C-alpha cells in the first residue's frame, strides 16, 4: 500500500512529556481542514491514499519539538523506555470513567424525563419493527427482497439506537443459524461500517488527548476514517519520527453518556426480570453489570493497549497468530495507536480465497488459539467478530480489538476439559458434579435431580459421536433442560459462549456442516495426553479405563487427534498416567494395568502363533494341528478375532508413537526407573505371574482340548 509522504526534510524530536505539562495544542492550518473535508471516501479494501501533513513552522522557543526520535532509535527502544511510555499513557488516562451502578443511579435517577424519553425511543422503534415482521409473515410476504428490506431497516434502527444496540447487532451478524442470510449481510455492516462522526472532532480529540498538533505527530494521515465501529473510528497514518504505518482509533464524542443511559435502563429491566420472570434463574442484574463493566473498560484505550500487550505476550509466539504492537507515546484514554496490519475480514470468503487461502483453515486457527486462551492460559478475547479478526496475506490470523477481554478461573479450565471426557463416557453423575467446579452451582445444592435431565437430553442428542454435535445445540439444549434448576451462569462463562458461538458462526459461512467440537478434538486430546494436572490425569484414566477395561481404540483416537496439534509432543504422551501408576495413589490403577498387561501379552503371543500357523506351508499344517481340520488352537473364531484385534490395536498405538516427529524412546524411561524400586518389582512380579498363569492355562486348555469359556 503506497502512502504519500511529505517532502519536508525529517526532523529529530525528543520523547514527549505527559500531556498535562504541555501548553494548549496549536490548531491546524485551515487548508488542512479543507483537504480533509473534500477527500474521496475510502475504497472497500482499505487501500487509502494518505494525505501528507505539513511540517510545523520553525519556532524559536522550542515549540517545534514534538513526538518522536530518529528512526534508528525507534528500533533500539528497550523495555525500560517502553514502560516509561506506558506510564505516560496511563497518566494521560488517569481520569478515565469506570462503570459504577451507583454513579449511573445518581446521574440518571434524578432525570426521569430523559430516562423515559430514551425508554420510549427504544421500545417504539423495536416494537414497530417487530410488528412489521409479524405482518409480513401473516401476509406471506417472505421473499428475499422483503427480508433484505427489513434487514436494512433493522440495521438502521440499531445504528440510530446507538452503541449498546450496535453491539447486539454485531452478535447477531455472526449467527447464520439464527438469522436469514439477508440479515447476516446487513448486520455485518455494523462491525466496522457505522456512520462516522466529523473528522474535525476526531482530529481535535487527538490533539487534546496527546497534547500536540497532528502536524508534529504524523507525516501523513487518511483524510477520512477507514473504519467506524460502535465506540470509535479508525484512521490510517504514518508516524513522523519513524515512518511506520499505524492505525489510530479515536473515541466517539459523548459515548460515555449514551452508553451509561442505556445500561441504566437495561439494569432496571434486569431487576424486573429477576423479580417477575421465574424461568430465568441467573442473576440478570449481575450479568448486566459484568457486561457494562467490560464495555466501560473498552472506553479506556490505555487499558485496551495493556490488554493487547498481555495478549501478544501469551499468543503472538504462535506462528499463525499476529498481534499488533502498541505505540504508547500516541495513546491515551480516548486515542489508541497501534501497528497497521494488512488483511481481509474473516467473513469475506471470496477475498480470502482470491489470495490462495481457505476460510476454514483460518477459522480453525482461531478455534485452536481460542482454546488455548480459554483453557490453557485463561486470558481470552471475548469479542472475536469479523471486524476484529483479519486474515493476512501470509495466512496468519491477526487479532485487532482488545477492548473486551476476560479470564477463565483455573479450576474451571480443567473442569471444562473433564466435562468433555464425562460427556464422551456418558457419565452424567460426573457431569453434574462438574458444575461445582464451574461455579454453576453452590456446594450445598444436591445434583442428583439434575442427572436424569442430563441423561434424557444427551441420550437423545448423542445418536452420533460427540464430535458431530453442534456447539449451539449443546448450549441451547442444556439451557432448555436445566433452567428449572438453581443454576447461576458465571460472567466468564457467558463470554466463553459468546466467543465460541461467534467463531462457530464464522465457520458456518464457509461450511454449514462445520462442528466446533470436532475441530477442538486435537487440542483436547493433546491436553489429556500430556497435562500433569491431577484432575485431567484422572479424567484420562477414566476415559481409557472405561468399565474396568482398557479402551485401546480411545487411546489410538487420542493419539491420532493429538498429533494434529502442532504443540503435541509424543515424548510427553501418557507421562501423567505413568506417574500416577507408579505413585502411592496408583494401586487401583495398577490392578487394572496388571489385568490389561496379561491380556496384551496373551494377545501378542497367541496372535503371533496364529500368524505363524497361517503362514506355514499347506503340507505342514496337518502335522502341526495333529490332523485337526480346525487347526491347532481350541479357540472360537470370535475369540481369535478379539485377540488379533487387540494385538493390532497395540501395534497401531506403538506405531503412532514411533512415527511422531519428536518421538523419544525415553518415553519408557520412567517405567525402567521404577522397575528398580521395591514397589515396581512387586508390580513387575504381578504382571509376570499373571502372564505365566494365563499362558499356562491356555497351554493346558490346548493339551486337553477344553473349549474356552464362551466359545462355540
Catalytic residues: 383
In the chain, % helix, strand, coil (3-state, to 5) comes to: 60, 5, 35
- 112-139 vs 144-161: helix axis angle to the nearest 10? 180
Handedness of CA 640, 641, 647, 651 (dihedral sign): positive
How many whole angstroms separate alpha carbon 390 and alpha carbon 344?
Answer: 5
Cα dihedral sign for 366, 372, 378, 379?
negative
Q: Is 396 left (phi over 0), alpha (psi -120 to 50) or beta?
A: beta
Cell 409479524 maps to which residue? 134
How far is the C-alpha of 96 from the C-alpha of 90, rounded, in Å?
A: 10
Give CA angle at 29 (23, 31), nearest 5°: 165
Nearest by Cα to 307 from 319, 324, 293, 292: 324
329, 218 contact by CB (below 8 A): no
Question: For residue 99, what is its C-alpha cell?
Answer: 462503570
Q: Are 412 and 430 in contact (CB under 8 A)?
A: no
CA nearest 408: which of 385, 426, 382, 427?
Answer: 382
Alpha helix segments (H runs only) across 532-586 = 534-544, 552-562, 575-581
Cα–Cα distance measured from residue 226 to residue 320, given in angstroms and rounded to the nearest whole number = 25
Instruction: Give the pairing type, strands 397-399 and 321-322.
Output: parallel
User: What's the rounded Cα separation, in Å, for the pair 159 and 136?
Assistant: 23
For residue 236, what is the enclosing H or E element? strand 232-239
Length of the chain: 712
How would you class 133 by CB atoms within 10 Å of its CB: exposed for 0-12, middle for 13-18, buried for 19 or more? middle
Maximum Cα interatomic distance, the chain, rounded to a whole number of Å: 115
* Beta carbons of 69 and 15 less than 8 angstroms apart: yes
Amino acid at each position: 500500500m503506497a502512502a504519500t509522504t511529505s517532502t519536508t526534510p525529517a526532523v529529530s524530536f525528543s520523547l514527549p512529556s505527559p500531556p498535562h505539562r504541555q501548553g494548549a495544542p496549536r490548531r491546524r492550518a485551515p487548508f488542512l481542514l479543507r483537504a480533509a473535508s473534500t477527500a474521496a471516501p475510502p475504497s472497500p479494501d482499505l487501500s487509502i491514499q494518505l494525505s501528507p501533513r505539513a511540517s510545523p513552522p520553525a519556532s524559536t522557543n522550542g515549540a517545534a519539538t514534538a513526538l518522536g526520535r530518529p528512526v534508528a532509535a525507534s528500533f533500539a527502544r528497550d523495555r525500560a523506555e517502553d514502560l516509561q511510555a506506558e506510564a505516560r499513557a496511563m497518566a494521560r488516562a488517569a481520569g478515565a470513567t469506570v462503570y459504577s451502578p451507583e454513579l449511573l443511579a445518581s446521574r440518571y435517577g434524578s432525570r426521569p424525563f430523559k430516562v423515559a424519553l430514551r425508554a420510549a425511543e427504544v421500545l417504539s422503534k423495536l416494537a414497530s419493527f417487530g410488528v412489521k415482521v409479524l405482518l409480513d409473515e401473516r401476509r406471506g410476504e417472505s421473499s428475499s427482497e422483503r427480508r433484505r428490506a427489513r434487514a436494512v431497516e433493522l440495521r438502521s434502527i440499531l445504528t440510530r439506537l446507538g452503541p449498546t444496540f450496535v453491539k447486539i447487532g454485531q452478535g447477531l451478524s455472526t449467527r447464520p443459524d439464527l438469522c436469514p442470510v439477508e440479515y447476516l449481510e446487513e448486520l455485518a455492516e455494523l462491525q466496522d461500517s457505522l456512520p462516522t462522526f466529523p473528522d474535525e472532532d476526531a482530529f481535535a480529540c487527538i490533539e487534546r488527548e496527546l497534547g500536540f498538533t497532528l502536524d508534529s505527530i504524523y507525516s501523513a494521515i487518511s483524510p477520512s476514517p477507514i473504519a467506524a465501529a460502535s465506540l470509535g473510528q479508525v484512521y490510517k497514518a504514518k508516524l513522523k519520527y519513524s515512518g511506520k504505518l499505524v492505525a489510530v482509533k479515536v473515541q466517539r464524542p459523548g459515548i460515555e453518556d449514551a452508553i451509561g443511559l442505556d445500561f441504566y435502563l437495561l439494569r432496571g429491566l434486569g431487576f424486573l426480570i429477576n423479580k417477575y420472570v421465574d424461568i430465568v434463574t441467573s442473576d440478570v442484574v449481575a450479568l448486566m453489570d459484568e457486561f457494562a463493566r467490560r464495555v466501560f473498560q473498552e472506553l479506556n484505550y490505555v487499558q485496551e493497549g495493556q490488554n493487547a500487550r498481555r495478549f501478544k505476550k501469551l499468543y503472538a509466539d504462535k506462528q499463525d497468530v499476529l498481534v499488533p504492537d502498541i505505540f504508547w507515546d500516541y495513546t491515551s484514554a480516548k486515542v489508541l495507536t497501534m501497528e497497521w496490519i494488512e488483511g481481509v475480514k474473516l467473513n469475506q470468503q471470496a477475498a480470502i480465497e482470491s489470495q490462495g487461502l481457505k476460510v476454514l483453515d483460518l477459522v480453525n486457527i482461531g478455534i485452536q488459539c481460542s482454546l488455548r486462551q480459554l483453557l490453557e492460559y485463561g486470558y481470552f478475547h471475548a469479542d472475536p467478530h469479523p471486524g476484529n479478526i483479519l486474515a493476512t496475506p501470509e495466512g496468519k490470523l491477526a487479532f485487532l480489538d482488545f477492548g473486551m477481554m476476560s479470564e477463565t478461573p483455573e479450576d474451571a479450565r480443567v473442569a471444562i476439559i473433564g466435562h468433555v471426557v464425562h460427556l464422551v463416557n456418558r457419565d452424567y453423575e460426573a457431569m453434574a458434579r462438574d458444575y461445582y467446579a464451574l461455579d454453576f452451582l453452590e456446594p450445598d445444592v444436591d445434583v442428583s435431580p439434575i442427572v436424569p435431565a442430563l441423561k434424557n437430553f444427551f441420550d437423545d442428542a448423542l445418536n452420533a459421536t460427540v464430535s458431530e454435535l453442534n456447539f449451539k445445540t449443546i448450549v441451547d439444549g442444556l439451557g432448555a433442560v436445566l433452567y428449572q434448576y438453581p443454576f447461576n451462569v458465571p460472567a466468564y462463562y457467558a463470554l466463553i459462549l459468546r466467543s465460541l458461538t461467534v467463531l462457530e458462526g464464522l465457520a458456518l459461512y464457509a461450511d454449514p456442516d462445520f462442528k466446533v467440537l470436532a475441530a477442538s478434538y486435537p487440542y483436547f486430546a493433546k491436553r489429556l495426553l500430556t497435562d500433569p494436572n491431577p484432575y485431567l490425569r484422572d479424567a484420562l484414566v477414566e476415559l481409557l479405563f472405561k468399565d474396568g477395561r482398557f479402551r485401546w481404540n480411545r487411546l489410538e483416537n487420542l493419539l491420532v487427534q493429538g498429533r494434529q496439534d502442532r504443540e503435541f509432543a509424543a515424548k510427553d504422551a501418557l507421562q501423567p498416567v505413568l506417574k500416577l501408576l507408579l505413585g502411592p495413589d496408583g494401586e487401583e490403577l495398577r490392578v487394572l494395568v496388571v489385568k490389561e498387561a496379561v491380556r496384551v501379552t496373551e494377545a501378542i503371543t497367541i496372535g503371533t502363533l496364529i500368524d505363524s500357523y497361517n503362514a506355514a506351508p499347506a503340507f505342514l499344517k496337518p502335522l502341526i494341528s495333529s490332523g485337526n481340520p480346525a487347526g491347532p488352537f481350541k479357540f472360537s473364531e470370535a475369540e481369535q478375532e478379539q485377540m488379533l484385534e487387540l494385538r493390532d490395536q497395540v501395534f497401531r498405538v506403538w506405531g503412532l508413537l514411533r512415527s511422531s516427529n519428536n518421538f523419544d524412546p525415553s518415553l519408557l524411561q520412567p517405567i525402567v526407573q521404577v522397575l528398580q524400586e521395591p514397589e515396581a518389582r512387586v508390580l513387575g512380579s504381578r504382571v509376570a505371574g499373571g502372564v505365566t498363569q494365563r499362558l499356562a492355562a491356555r497351554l493346558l486348555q490346548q493339551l486337553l482340548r477344553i473349549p474356552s469359556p464362551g466359545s462355540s
